[in-house]
Amino acid sequence: MKSIGFDLRALQYGFKAHKNRGIGVYTGNVIRRRHLAPEGLLIAPFYDPDYEAVEPLKLNAKPFDPGWARKFQPFIKDYIWSHFFYKNIIDSTVKRAGVESIFFPSHLDTPAGLKVPYCVTVHDLISIALKDHYSRSVKHKAHMKKQLAALKGARLILADSEYTKHDVVRLAHVDPSKVTVVYLGVDPEFKPEVNNSRERLNLPEKFILYVGGIDWRKNINLLFKAFSGLLKKRPDYHLVMTGEIENDPSYQNFLQSLKERSLESKVHTLGFVSRADLVKLYNQAAVFFYPSVYEGFGLPVLEAM
């Protein structure tokens, strides 16, 4: 029987910000359908024992075990631990488990220099394609270099779209034959329905919906500009925004922009909402607006459709 490991760290609270965003949704959707894997293929999930692991443990995942290196972890900076030590931890864990290879749902979480054969999904290469909009620190440059090295070392790369594949080939200089496009799908729960959660969520009757973050590429200024223009003709409309934004570095600028445009009473920020409530919001919104300047795929658009 052949076997492949599966990195579940994107489902763990505290590991980056993946869990309630696109990478976490993708990871969860793929692993929950592992029963559809071809007969004779064993999928072995792994998680990071340093973070909350409720969902991985439900999936009978095993920890990436640091072994003897654990006693040195308190004395090692997080960046060095995650970028240099972790590749050895993954290699040794996978080898001990008797697993032949491993799948990473995001290239952002893939250590460079792994010995074990691996497959990786690329959702986008935004921080590399638009590098002038990001930090020019030595740390960030090292992170971009690590991303490219991880892609070059992969046996197989999955891309969300033809555009993402184009970026991978162009920016990472990998052989196009090594990159396969596998489009994202949408859960069956995203469908028209009549159930109403508007009252429970204390939402207005007429609203525009936005789903996502507030970093610069999400183009929130255009969202506010368009909404302000709408209010001049349709003052009865509101804007509803979902997504974890309070810890975003752009949050204070976001609040200031609301104040400058006098939109405080018209914009409702719900934070993270459950999948069930998100389906209802898509159904009840008059319009879904997604003005992002760059996406590898843009899953919320497909969900809204």
- 102-117 tens-digit pLDDT: 999 999 999 999 999 9
Q: What pLDDT score does 187 carry?
A: 79
Residue 127's pLDDT band (boundaries 50, 70, 90)? confident
Residues 268-288: what's their mean pLDDT?
Answer: 91
Between 176 and 191, residue with greater pLDDT? 176
Closest by CA to 213, choosing from 243, 241, 240, is 243
Q: In this structure, are residues 122 and 157 in contact, taking their beta carbons and an 8 Å threshold?
A: yes
**Residues forming a β-bridge with 269:** 241
Q: Is the confidence at residue 172, as pLDDT, over 90?
A: yes
Residues 239-252: what's their mean pLDDT?
Answer: 91
C-alpha distances (whole Å) from 28 to each of 42, 53, 117 are 17, 13, 22
Buried/exposed code over 93-113 (b: 16+ C-beta within 10 A; e: otherwise): bbeeeebbbbbbbbbbbbbbe
d(CA 192, CA 208): 17
In degrees and rounded to multiples of 5, residue 154 shows phi and psi of: -75, 145
DSSP at 116: S
Q: What pLDDT score does 196 carry?
A: 64
The pair of structure tokens assigned to 285 is 């919104």
Q: What pLDDT score does 214 carry?
A: 94
In degrees and rounded to multiples of 5, residue 45 shows phi and psi of: -80, 150
d(CA 17, CA 21): 7
State what percent of residues in the chain have pLDDT above 70. 92
Residues 236-240: what's their mean pLDDT?
Answer: 96
Q: What pLDDT score does 198 carry?
A: 65
Q: What pLDDT score does 77 carry?
A: 65
Residues 185-212: what's their mean pLDDT?
Answer: 80
Q: Is the confidence at residue 82, as pLDDT, over 70?
A: no
Q: Is the pTM of this model over 0.85?
A: no
Domains of the chain with bracketed CATH: 2-181 (3.40.50.2000), 207-304 (3.40.50.2000)
